[in-house]
Chains A and B, each alone.
Chain A
Amino acid sequence: MDIHRLVKMANDIGSFYEALPDRSEAISSIATHLKNFWEPRMRREIIEHARQGAEATPRLKELVREAILTLE
């Protein structure tokens, strides 16, 4: 799938939860959202992308990357 699109979608989700003052709550909220609404092949691809590290482009927000990595 188009990784640019997936990363944008994930970052959009991250932007919403970023507002939460408690970082761990934000991370778990993002992860739950991805788990509940993303079809497995989308999740697979984004996890793979997150694993490539913080610098991989397109860039995932750090908060989002951390959340994705909890999905494994």
Chain B
Amino acid sequence: MTVRVYIPRDSGARSLGADTVARAIELEAKKRGEQVSLVRTGSRGLYWLEPMVEVELSDRRVAYGPVNVTDIPALFDADFLNGGNHRLALGRADEIPYLKSQERLTFSRVGIVDPYSLPDYISHGGYRGLERALALSPEQIVEEVVVSGLRGRGGAGFPAGIKWRTTLQTSASQKYIVANADEGDSGTFADRMIMEGDPFLLIEGMTIAAIATGATEGFIYLRSEYPDALHTLQAAINAAVSAGYLGDNILGTGRRFLLEVRMGAGAYICGEETAMLESLEGKRGMVRFKPPVPAIAGLFGRPTVINNVVTLASVPLIVERGGAFYKEYGVGRSRGTIPIQLAGNVKRPGLIEKPFGITLREIIYDYGGGTASGRPLRAVQVGGPLGAYFPESLLDQPIDYEALAAQGGLVGHGGIVVFDESVNLARQARYAMEFCALESCGKCTPCRIGSTRGMEIIDEIVVARDGEKASRLELLRDLCDTMSAGSLCALGGLTPLPVMSALRHFPQDFGLPPSSGG
């Protein structure tokens, strides 16, 4: 009897040797005359357990991990193909507490299905959203998304349904759907996991968006740092085209939607939607001013829906189950679930999909298990390089757009990076400015010149004598004010967040008395 064994081909798992493990299992099985069928999946997101190998038994999948090639003979010896016990045995995969306690709506298939298999996708409930969408009018689809309360998961948190409605109501000979897959924030990898682990979900979400808004062409703007995602997406698009889920006549309904993946080329700013449009048009990724909003005048001047990968991936379920279903999750104006990506110095990094409202502390301690180094946690950056640094004392913040904003922070793309006590926040503040300087498109003055001046002033503050510190600090505050009030886009506009939060919460790192940061 052939045993089905699941091993992620997720690039994170691969970076830890998943390919080698897979090959080793094949070789060992051959050697032992065992019939093994390997299925390469996405990652369940339990990265501290990667490479995690799952074996399919009659009624369950049992997991082992993290598996090293040297463990493989022993695993065979322990009869892991029949769920045998071994020190790496984790039991039922879906019973692992880290996973079991999550509420996976968007990531329900990631790590379970073969991302290359359209039948697998369909048999796990894929394309039901599209089927329902095809039975609805565009207005009805949009209404479901509006009702769901889904907000852009890329960082801006703008209600997706409103965007769609604008595009639907703008008449044009050509409209576009663009998936923002330029996931550049450090500490984030949810988009990548979907594209590598459940690419049809993104394709389905985009197709629904197209049908809802009257768009006939779509682009996935993918950052070049994700070569594996390019392969999966392309394979999935080809499969969807062959099966009639994409193309000139979607499932025989006469609707048209063509989809193409476009690679970025190493520019964080192209995650900003207007810079992304410039890049898609084959230009320098310079930010455009708004209005006009892309929903009215976007790619090549045509109405364009731009949504982040996770946003689009949330759509099929919303349309399948109804907006009201999705709206049940979450708190306040933050509805639904958010895939939180936990990274940095943390014992159990990974992906945690939970409804909005979960606190940072729950994420970092209950899921993450505290720092990887075992040293005390000192700071947490929430929401990527433009997100605030919070001290331990603020970890009871719920993850909620409004609540974090009230603390001078942001949800961003849901990335959380944990630092232990070895971190120096003046250095992190300087790095925030440095990153802005590195990635600034250079269009607006506050960002182009300000970020470089910001690095210089922070350097000066750190070494300044007491008498000079105050004037330098005032200049830094002025600069941050100029950047946040004067910048054209969020890169320059939000860079002051990490800087000012570091100064507020960790003044001693700048050589200032503990209370002076405020």
Query: A and B touching (C-beta < 8 Å)?
Result: no
Which A residues lie at the B interface, using CB under 8 A? Answer: none
